[in-house]
Homo-oligomer: A and B are copies of this chain.
């Protein structure tokens, strides 16, 4: 049984599985999807709760943010990172923030203050570690608008800090760096058949994620330029080089970061490469 995250990660998760080779079809009530793999059953639950039910053993494995593994104090196996999300494919941070003009400059200034956060447990432990006592209240959302009117400080999730800056907040400290992980129940992980299946899924999800920002590139080049061309190609896969019928020429094929192509093609042209084509990839496994 696989724990799938409901909410903002729901659609990206379905798309990621599809690229990895599994078709997840939501039913009308969306809790219990159908998956085209007789060895795989899944349930959509809130991302915050997945680690709890992996720990309990209801799920053999699941996808969720590392932050909620920590907040729930779940005792699970961290199989691998899978950094994807609706917007950006980057990790996020739980930070303690106050209004720009606040007199609070460091953690000890929080003594006796009121703090709103979605991660009450994590915040409590963080303050305890610093020997600070404060009133921590659970926030149901829109935490960033609560300072300074309703509370003195917040502990909130941020990716780039843009939203905090837009709300005129200043970061005092960082509690945790987090991203999505594949986690497994400890017993399931010891069962060789279950573990093989989980590792198989992990490999394919990574292969799909890995391909998302990569492309294949083919080009023809004169033998005399080949060395220089291969030198500037930051290939993620050993380049395949084939002789062409015209013995002076060779065909080169590589896989590389899509982002680099816009800078490399002009250089390849300068080195005499011709007939350059770029094609999309579904999966990349090194």
Chain A interface residues toward B at CB < 8 A: 6, 20-22, 28-29, 31-32, 36-37, 43, 45-46, 48-49, 52-53, 56, 58, 137, 139-142, 145-146, 149-150, 199-200, 203-204, 207, 211, 215-216, 220, 237-238, 240-242, 244-245, 251, 255, 258-259, 261-263, 265-266, 269, 274-286
Contacts and interface: CB of A to CB of B under 8 A. Distances in A.
**Interface on chain A toward B: helix, strand, loop, or mixed SS?**
mixed
A66 B222 CA distance: 39
B283 A200 contact: no
Given A277-B284, A278-B282, A48 B261 contact: no
Given A142-B31, A240-B244, A207 B265 contact: yes
Contacts of A245: 241
Given A207-B265, A255-B275, A281-B278, A58 B149 contact: yes
A279 B218 CA distance: 13
Contact of A276 (B6, B139, B275, B283): B283
Contacts of A263: 200
A269 B285 contact: yes
Copies in the complex: 6
A22 B28 CA distance: 29
A201 to B, nearest CB: 8
B48 A265 contact: no
Contacts of A275: 237-238, 255, 285-286
8 contacts: A21-B259, A21-B262, A45-B142, A45-B146, A203-B265, A204-B262, A211-B277, A240-B251
A17 B1 CA distance: 40
Nearest to A141: B46
A255 B251 CA distance: 14
Given A145-B29, A275-B286, A277-B216, A262 B22 contact: yes
Given A21-B262, A242-B242, 9 more contacts: A21-B261, A31-B145, A37-B262, A203-B265, A207-B276, A240-B244, A265-B285, A276-B284, A277-B284
Given A20-B262, A53-B150, A262-B20, A140 B48 contact: yes
A284 B276 CA distance: 6
